[in-house]
């Protein structure tokens, strides 16, 4: 086969060109996702009660006639990407008394997760935080500045202070952030039924960095005999009210953590460097050891990603790598491989751990002193 530049075949170069363009256009994937969330298209189809035709959709959205074809284009692209199914429906057209076949858009598992305001889990708030919050999403445009900065995480450069201080001073951003994390926590409902063993036999649990208590509330409802404490920064928990077996305590996990049989850490350690994680984990160890019931038998339950290129589907690895880059730049945190987790557990004084699959991208890690 004929070769062109650098000894590559033309076919290799064309594939490479497509790869470059695919990444360049990636930003439009985010924007199309933002479009279906902003326009509440999943809710519109859900409220419609059946697959929706283009003319019905543009009518609900009051799209000007000049943009009807554009709407079709966007809907087909998102259908191609798995956000909608395209189905054929039989439409009774009153004018000619004939049944007409029409194409309609139906919800898929992905767009169902973007329906807001029903009892089912919705991750729209995560999308909104990531793509809509101007302070957070515009940070990504300052990557070049971050590369030449000595040691400040991106958020500290763009927000002028550490994320948690910024959120403390900006209540609107704090609610957007807490709503996003809470909506992600709703997904654990689906995973808990297969993992109830991890919580059985416990009398007390502290959800460290538990935000507005969504995860702890789900656990407290599933295990009514388990006393659940949500421990987070004072400004995060100050106006939150507990219930029977759920309470809120304000404090700093770098200083000390309330004692309990078990400590839960969901998406907390990925915000921090190894050294900071070791400090948090040592405080967790003190907290479970201080529980009189434990006699050095307490445990830490971690819900986080574990990078595992060999075993995971390529799409899941890609997600974990992107999460890793995001955590690395915005907070100088990281997503970790099994070896990296093991190393921080060991330095923090934990010698036994077990990793089980939890959701698609998060694992459940039980760690024992
Ligand atoms: C990424 S959020 C995770 C929230 C929750 N675990 C979830 O998954 O929905 C990290 C949490 O850590 C809390 N946090 C940050 N620094 C903290 C500290 N020094 N002590 C206690 N909590 C802290 C934040 O306020 C935030 O709620
Ligand atoms: O922008 C994010 C996103 C996440 C996130 C949300 C849901 C998941 O299942 C995984 C990761 O977490 C974040 C986070 O912990 C943070 O402190 C800032 C931003 C984000």
pLDDT digits (tens, 9 = 90+) for 162-220: 999 999 999 999 999 999 999 999 999 888 878 888 998 899 999 999 999 999 999 99
pLDDT at res. 133: 81
> Which helix or strand (DSSP H or E) is residue 36 part of?
helix 26-38
Question: Which part of the chain has CATH 1.10.10.10?
Answer: 11-112
Question: Distances from the Cα of 204 to the Cαs of 145, 154, 214, in angstroms?
Answer: 45, 37, 17
* Sheet-wide strand order for 98-107: 52-53, 98-107, 84-93
**What pTM does this model have?**
0.93
| DSSP letter assigned to residue 62 | T
Spacing, Cα 212 to ligand 1 middle (Å)? 9
Confidence of residue 132 (pLDDT cuts 50, 70, 90): confident
Residue nearest to atom 2 of ligand 2 (CA): 130
pLDDT at res. 137: 80
The fold for domain 187-368 equals: Rossmann fold (3.40.50)
Answer whether 130 contacts ligand 2 (Cβ < 6 A). Answer: yes
Confidence of residue 134 (pLDDT cuts 50, 70, 90): confident
Spacing, Cα 23 to ligand 2 middle (Å)? 22
With 0-12 / 13-18 / 19 or more C-beta atoms within 10 angstroms meaning exposed / middle / buried, residue 5 is: exposed
pLDDT at res. 341: 98
pLDDT at res. 95: 61
- Report how far residue 152's alpha carbon sits from residue 160's, in angstroms, rounded to the nearest whole number: 10
Question: Which residues have a Cβ under 8 Å from the Cβ of 199 and sit 6 or more positions away?
Answer: 205, 219, 222, 223, 226, 262, 301
pLDDT at res. 91: 73
Tell me the per-residue pLDDT of 305-317, one tens digit each, with 9 for 90 and over. 999 999 999 999 9
Question: Which residues have a Cβ under 8 Å from the Cβ of 134 and sit 6 or more positions away?
Answer: none
pLDDT at res. 93: 59
- Considering all CA atoms of the chain, what is the largest pairwise distance in Å, rounded to the nearest integer? 80
Lowest mean pLDDT: which of 1-5, 15-19, 231-235, 337-341? 1-5
Spacing, Cα 232 to ligand 1 middle (Å)? 6
Phi, psi of 45 (to 5 degrees): -70, -40
pLDDT at res. 15: 96
Pocket of ligand 1 (CB under 6 A): 164, 181-182, 184-185, 209-211, 215, 232-233, 236, 252-254, 266-268, 271
Answer whether 187 contacts ligand 2 (Cβ < 6 A). Answer: no
Is residue 298's pLDDT more than 90? no
Instruction: Tell me the sheet residues that pair with 103.
Output: 88
- Please pick, among 270, 328, 332, 361, the residue that the annotation labels catalytic: 270
Question: Which part of the chain has CATH 3.40.50.150?
Answer: 187-368
Is residue 99's pLDDT more than 80? no
Selected residue with higher pLDDT from 10 and 295: 10
Spacing, Cα 72 to ligand 2 middle (Å)? 32
- Report how far residue 266's alpha carbon sits from residue 260's, in angstroms, rounded to the nearest whole number: 16
Average pLDDT along the chain? 93
pLDDT at res. 61: 98
The answer to whether 142 is a known catalytic residue is no
Q: Which one of 2.40.30.170, 1.10.10.10, 3.40.50.620, 2.40.50.100 gives the CATH number of domain 11-112?
A: 1.10.10.10
Is residue 1's pLDDT more than 60? no
Name the closest ligand to CA 234.
1
Confidence of residue 87 (pLDDT cuts 50, 70, 90): very high
pLDDT at res. 3: 54
Q: What is the ipTM of this complex?
A: 0.98
């Amino acid at each position: 086969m004929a070769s062109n530049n650098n000894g590559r075949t033309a076919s290799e170069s064309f594939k490479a060109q497509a790869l470059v363009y695919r990444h360049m256009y990636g930003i439009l994937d985010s924007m199309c996702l933002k479009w279906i969330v902003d326009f509440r298209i999943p809710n519109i189809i859900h409220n419609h009660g059946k697959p929706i035709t283009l003319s019905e959709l543009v009518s609900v959205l009051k799209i000007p006639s000049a943009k009807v074809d554009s709407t079709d284009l966007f809907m087909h692209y998102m259908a191609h990407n798995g956000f909608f199914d395209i189905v054929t429906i039989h439409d009774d057209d009153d004018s000619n008394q004939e049944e007409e076949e029409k194409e309609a858009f139906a919800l898929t598992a992905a767009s169902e997760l973007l329906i807001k305001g029903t009892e089912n889990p919705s991750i729209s708030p995560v999308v909104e935080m990531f793509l809509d919050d101007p302070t957070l999403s515009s940070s990504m445009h300052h990557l070049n500045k971050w590369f030449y900065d000595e040691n400040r995480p991106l958020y500290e450069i763009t927000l002028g202070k550490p994320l948690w201080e910024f959120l403390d001073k900006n209540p609107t951003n704090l609610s957007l952030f807490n709503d996003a994390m809470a909506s992600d926590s709703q997904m654990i409902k689906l995973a808990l039924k297969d993992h109830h063993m991890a919580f059985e036999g416990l009398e007390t649990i502290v959800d460290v960095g538990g935000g507005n208590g969504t995860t702890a509330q789900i656990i407290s409802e599933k295990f009514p005999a388990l006393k659940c404490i949500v421990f987070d920064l004072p400004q995060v928990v100050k106006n939150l009210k507990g219930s029977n077996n759920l309470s809120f305590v304000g404090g700093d996990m770098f200083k000390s953590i309330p004692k309990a049989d078990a400590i839960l850490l969901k998406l907390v350690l990925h915000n921090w460097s190894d050294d900071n994680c070791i400090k948090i984990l040592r405080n967790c160890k003190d907290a479970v050891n201080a529980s009189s019931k434990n006699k050095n038998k307490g445990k830490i339950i971690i819900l986080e990603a574990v990078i595992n290129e060999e075993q995971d589907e390529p799409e899941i690895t890609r997600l974990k790598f992107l999460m890793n880059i995001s955590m690395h730049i915005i907070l100088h945190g990281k997503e970790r491989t099994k070896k990296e987790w093991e190393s921080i557990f060991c330095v923090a004084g934990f010698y036994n751990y077990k990793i089980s699959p939890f959701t698609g991208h998060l694992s459940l890690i039980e760690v024992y002193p």
